[in-house]
Amino acid sequence: MALMRRVVVTGIGPVAPNGVGAEAFHKAQLAGRSGIRRITQFDASSYPVQIAGEVDVNPEQYIEKRELRRLDRFTQLALIAGQLALEDAGLELEKEDPTRIGTLIGTGIGGMITWQEQSRVLFEKGGTRLSPFFIPMMIANMASAQLAMRYGFMGPSSTVVTACATGSDAIGNAFRVVQLGEADIMLTGGTEAPVAEMAIGSFGVMRALSTRNDEPEKASRPFSKSRDGFVLSEGAAVLVLEEYERAKARGARIYAEVVGFGRSCDAHHITEPHPEGKGAALAMQAALKDAKAAPEQVGYINAHGTSTPIGDRAETLAIKQVFGEHAYRLAVSSTKSMIGHLLGAAGAIEAIATVQALASGILPPTINLDDPDPELDLDYIPHTPREQKVEYALSNSFAFGGMNATLLFRRV
């Protein structure tokens, strides 16, 4: 068996409700700044849920206006994140072999906005009035494909769709591609644009979303006794994964090394996690085994931490199963407390938060933890960031259908 190559993160491109670009996103995390507001993308006044995480970005600054009309918003956000990540990585693309660079961008829902708009056209005007761009705008693989086409990357290109585990699954699969030598560089992550009537309405009738409409910035409150559901958000995140030796040779800045990837399935319920966190625990154990790391070496976990009553409890139980007494010495926090839930992009934006924590030695907080749930008794870094250097950090993502994915990073 060939020697597995080391893989590092050399560029990041966060496009989040509380910050666009590496510096803005990091500053927002350390300030504990929420990006949750009242919805502006449509009139939500008749909906029980009237809040979401919207990205403050002008796509025309990154993409030509003519091209924008042929791209769903989920693809637009991915292209912005990809550009930011490449710029952050400092790659001189004209000197690179395009056949050794690939893309692996996931999405949970894909072109929701396009689907909704074209459904209106179908039922109001008939099938002959549909846009010829409907299918290529809506299908899930188009973010990855468009990113490859924009830069001429001819290496492996694919898409992962595993609901809210998508972002982490995409990074984990891209990690394997570089590790096994199929490519030297992979642009990977997730993207989602679900702030639309159909998504807000359907998640709302499931009673999955917070209805704290009068206090949007306080609505996402993981691990709090008063949590009442997650906050739906849009956004994207792309990471540049690169083979370690070539990254070192070109003098690249390295945020962290990807050392482990684990996944599992609860095989339990279409939306609820296993009540004892069994699947989540299996994913964390698999990531540790993949990296040949001991549980005691992990110092920080960026939790899935959705702010749902069942989810936060199951994840806490899973952490205790995997880490035993060390669970109480771990620092844990939820990025979703500040930006809400980006669905298929969640794992990717949280991976960025994790590698920034490793690189800076500052762990991001869980905001809105005003009334801790007494059943959830770990160290969730309430309110303010913490200066603490850690060697290993986990990032968890769990999804509808019981799909679980965990990434393990190491400080370089």
Torsion of CA 10, 14, 18, 19, to 10 degrees: 70
Token pair 């995409």: residue: 170
Which residues make beta-bridge pairs with 51?
38
Nearest-angstrom CA–CA distance, 245 and 377: 42
Cα 367 from Cα 382, distance rounded (Å): 6
- The C-alpha atoms of residue 16 and residue 234 are separated, in whole angstroms, by 7
| Matching residue, tokens 């992009």 | 345
Q: How many CA atoms lie within 13 A of 396 on its CB side?
A: 31
164 as an active site residue: the answer is yes
Rounded to a whole number of angstroms, the CA Rg of the chain reads 20
Tokens 């966190």 appear where?
277
Residue pair 403/162 in contact (Cβ under 8 Å)? The answer is yes
| Active-site hit among 164, 185, 219, 252 | 164
Q: Which two tokens stand for residue 161?
A: 């769709």
What single letter denotes the amino acid at residue 83? Answer: Q
Residues identified as active-site: 164
